[in-house]
Amino acid sequence: MTVTINDVVVILPFLVASGGALLIILLDSFSAPRTPRRFLGGFTIFFLAVAALSAYIVPLRTESAFHGMVMMDGLARFLSVVVMLSAGFATLLAMDRLPEQGSARGEFYALLLFSAAGASLLASAADLVMVFLGLETLSIPAYAMAAALRRDVRSTEAGFKYFVLGAFATGFFLMGTALVYSSVGSTALGRLAAASASGWTEKPLLCMGAVMLLVGLAFKAAVVPFHMWAPDVYDGSPTPATAYFATGIKAAAFAALLRVVILSLPGMRAEEINGNEIGWHYIFWGLAAATMAVSSLTALVQKDVKRILAYSSVAHVGYLLIGLLAGKPGGAAVLFYLLVYTFMTVGAFAVVAYLENSKGGTKLSDYAGIAKRHPYAAAAMAVFLFSLAGIPPTGGFFAKFYLFKAAVQGGLINLTVLGVLFSVVSAYYYLRIVVAMYMEQGENQAVIDISPSAAVVTAICLCLLFTIIIGLYPTPYLSVAQASASMLP
Amino acid sequence: MWADILFWVFAAAVIVLALAVITFKNPVNSAMALVADLFFVAALFVLVDAHFLAVIQILLYAGAVMVLFLFVIMLINQGPDELGRARRTFAKAVALILLFPLALVVLRVVENVSKGGGFLKVPSDYGTIEAVGRLVFGQYLLPFEVASVLLLAAIIGAVAIAKRRLW
Amino acid sequence: MLSYEAILLLIVLGIAISVVFVLISKFLGPKNPNARKKSVYECGAEPQGSARKRFPVKFYMIALLFLLFDIEAVFLYPWAKLFRELGFLGFVEMGIFMLVLIVGLIYAWRKGALEWE
């Protein structure tokens, strides 16, 4: 039971991020009470960058470390980097959104680093115990981040809702783990794959356990019908936290879905018993269809930009679920999609944060005539929204294109048709924001412009750059995603 | 023989008290029933020689977690008029109907398990403190260390939310 | 199944003794109730208002911090039992665990979370 250096390097991203969080907590504790905390944001970005780099330096290994607890394969590496990216952008937004005395300023950065560390651990988990710990290390800081604006009732409410429903989901996941263990005799994902390979219909405990694992993860990924918390939480949380929830946590939840369902339960995909077709293929099919339909139709009637973006993020979960069903090319498309989705969603939330900094609201009516007062922000927002809608030549178009292509190759014609259909519906609610910004007259024409905040502007520019670059030249990013998904079945 | 009798006594107590938790009107009574319930769960753990879990059940759950429950109940402090309302008979009926298929599934599982499709055999010292310790500091070393990071994050989150004057 | 007769005996005796004492004082003790005696005991002062007041959130925070450090303490238990067997590596493992949580203690202390404000 010795620990070797080979073991330690596998969790290097986790170690860097959580070590950074420890340092930030100490720095925050020993800094003078009323001084600004922006410098902690700089530290946070530094540690996130080092963590992302370390994920790339660590050699890929197929065998697991720490007695089969974690491994660093392509999936772990790719999604760790996506999470660190998302957390880095959230830090940039937080540096301008959390200056207020009384809100959790220093703590926010530490919690963000802890959460990113947990997500990276989750991405490299090789055992259900590690998946659970990763999920919790990811979620518990997130609950506190949602409530970081302590004097804002809606932020507190968001934290509370996120916590209660998240804890409930964790309960499901734990119960599922216990049931799986009682059937398989191990929590190792490799053993789970072996045990579920055949004869699983005769193992009721395994089946119940698998369903409960699925429910727990579906909560975290905000899959319909387990999505009810998402709009309220995304709406009420401080916008930097929302940007992270909608991208980083989503990427981590899909890491867990890929690890626990796609890689560990391939045998339970589909089987015919007494003329009934059962297996998670059919469950996912229904979830994907429901997720796309419910979120797209609900988004149509929203009157708040943050809520529209929240429902949009749920809708993208629906598209991603299609990718999960489409085998290896589908897995690569999911990874590529998560990367592009991170840039465009964070970008959109960054514009929301930018306008919030200029004392604007987040209602659709507050966005009326924004293009006159903030022409650059409005243009950037338009690009992000076009990308989210999947209009060429943006990154979002290619992400959707590869996803649906993989789905058609995988024989998921009906789901693909549904996906394209609801993409068209989604274009309508994205365009509503664009129309409000460019075509409508704002009631409040008084320009209350503060000096543009460098950090938020940096975030917007970077996201814009990558959304456009990936749109114009997607090949290198796609090939990285394909290489990272090579071990998927 | 004794172990079997004790099992049925403890198991019956667990179920009765669990029902008491969800049927008491006053949340403080429910919490107290839960404390008693957790004691009997601990007794069940002792019956299968899972000493560590039994100790945790009493120290952490019946002790610390329940204190927290009580504080939260007192913090929210709903008066009798708030607790008296909310008899959603319709919702309860729907819940009962939805419970039915779940109960069928659970029954099927229990039936199958009792026929031998069931649980694994574990060594007799499986849950003793030494055995758990060897696992925690051996095979499950990484989860153990990660748990410290998780607890730290929870401490920071709790203070960040609940501290009255935060700087 | 190890033997738990001693514990069972302890539980039975404990319950029996407390029941007996309650019964003895019920049957033998003199009872002269009056209004003052039957009122709520509040350190001799006149009871004021209802006891059902909202508790301040600081109670909750102290309880939560206690719980988290309690969990830490529970892990010390198997570690202490296996201290010799685990040797120096076990010491380092526990040391890292404790150090991480001590950072939490330092944080709570510096931020005044342990003060009764």
Q: What is the pLDDT of residue A305?
A: 92
Q: What is the pLDDT of residue A318?
A: 94
Peptide bond into A329 cis (omega under 30): no
Which of A107, A129, A137 lies at the smallest CB-CB distance from B156? A107
Q: What is the pLDDT of residue C13?
A: 95
> Is residue B119 predicted with pLDDT exceeding 80?
no
- The whole model's pTM is what? 0.92
pLDDT band at B120 (very low <50, low <70, confident <90, very high): low
CB contact under 8 A, C58 and B3: no
Task: Provide the domain limits for residue C99.
Answer: 5-110
**Does the CB of C110 have a partner CB in chain A at under 8 Å?**
yes
Q: What is the pLDDT along chain A (489 residues), one digit of tens a residue?
A: 577 888 888 899 999 999 999 999 999 998 887 777 888 889 999 999 999 999 888 888 777 888 889 988 899 999 999 999 999 999 999 988 776 666 778 899 999 999 999 999 999 999 999 999 999 999 999 999 999 888 889 999 999 999 999 999 999 999 999 989 888 888 999 899 988 887 787 788 888 899 999 999 999 999 988 999 999 999 999 999 999 999 999 999 999 999 999 888 888 888 888 878 888 899 999 999 999 999 999 999 999 999 999 999 999 999 999 999 988 889 999 999 999 999 999 999 999 988 887 777 888 888 888 888 888 989 999 999 999 999 888 999 999 999 999 999 988 999 999 999 999 999 999 999 999 999 888 765 555 555 567 888 999 999 999 999 999 999 999 999 999 988 887
Q: What is the pLDDT of residue B86?
A: 62
* Closest of A147, C1, A235, A232 to residue B157, by C-alpha: A147
Q: Which percentage of chain C shows pLDDT scores above 70?
A: 86
Over range C27-54, report the average pLDDT. 74
Peptide bond into A225 cis (omega under 30): yes
Subunits next to A (3 or more Cβ pairs <8 Å) are B, C
| Phi, psi angles (nearest 5°) of residue A278 | -125, 165
Q: What is the pLDDT of residue A60?
A: 83
- Would you say residue C116 lies in a domain? no
* Closest of A255, A282, A258 to residue A268, by C-alpha: A282
Which of C57, C75, C82 lies at the smallest CB-CB distance from B130? C82
Q: What is the pLDDT of residue A409?
A: 92
Residue of B nearest to A179 (CA): B119
Listed in sequence order, the residues at least 6 apart from A246 whose beta carbon sits closer than 8 Å to its beta carbon are A234, A309, A310, A313, A345, A346, A349
Subunits next to B (3 or more Cβ pairs <8 Å) are A, C
Q: Which chain A residues are within 8 Å of C107, Cβ to Cβ?
A: 25-26, 28-29
CB–CB contacts below 8 A, B to C: 135
CB–CB contacts below 8 A, A to C: 17
- Would you say residue C117 lies in a domain? no
Which of B55, B145, B162 lies at the smallest CB-CB distance from C61? B162
The interface pTM score, or ipTM, of the predicted complex is 0.92
CB contact under 8 A, B164 and C57: yes
- Using one digit for the tens of pLDDT, what is the confidence trace for B48-106? 888 899 989 998 988 888 888 888 888 777 666 666 666 678 888 888 898 888 888 88
Task: Report the CATH number at residue C46.
Answer: 1.20.58.1610
CB–CB contacts below 8 A, A to B: 106
Over range B139-158, report the average pLDDT. 93
Q: In angstroms, what separates the C-alpha of C42 from chain B's closest C-alpha?
A: 19
Q: Which of A183, A237, A273 is best to mutate for the B interface (most B CBs within 10 A)?
A: A183
Residue of B nearest to A99 (CA): B167
CB contact under 8 A, C108 and B155: yes
Q: Which chain C residues are within 8 Å of A28, Cβ to Cβ?
A: 107
Q: Which percentage of chain B shows pLDDT scores above 70?
A: 90
- Would you say residue C115 lies in a domain? no
Buried b (16+ CB within 10 A) or exposed e, A385-412: bbbbbbbeebbbbbbbebbbbbbeebeb
CB contact under 8 A, B68 and C104: no
Q: In angstroms, what separates the C-alpha of B128 from chain C's closest C-alpha?
A: 9
**CA pair distance A216, A196, nearest whole angstrom:** 19
Residue of C nearest to B76 (CA): C54
pLDDT band at B6 (very low <50, low <70, confident <90, very high): confident
pLDDT band at B8 (very low <50, low <70, confident <90, very high): very high
- Would you say residue C31 lies in a domain? yes
CB contact under 8 A, A26 and C106: yes
Q: Considering its fold, how many domains does chain C have in total?
A: 1
Q: At what angle do helices A128-146 and A204-221 cross, to 10 degrees?
A: 30
Q: Which of C86, C111, C115, C117 is best to mutate for the A interface (most A CBs within 10 A)?
A: C111
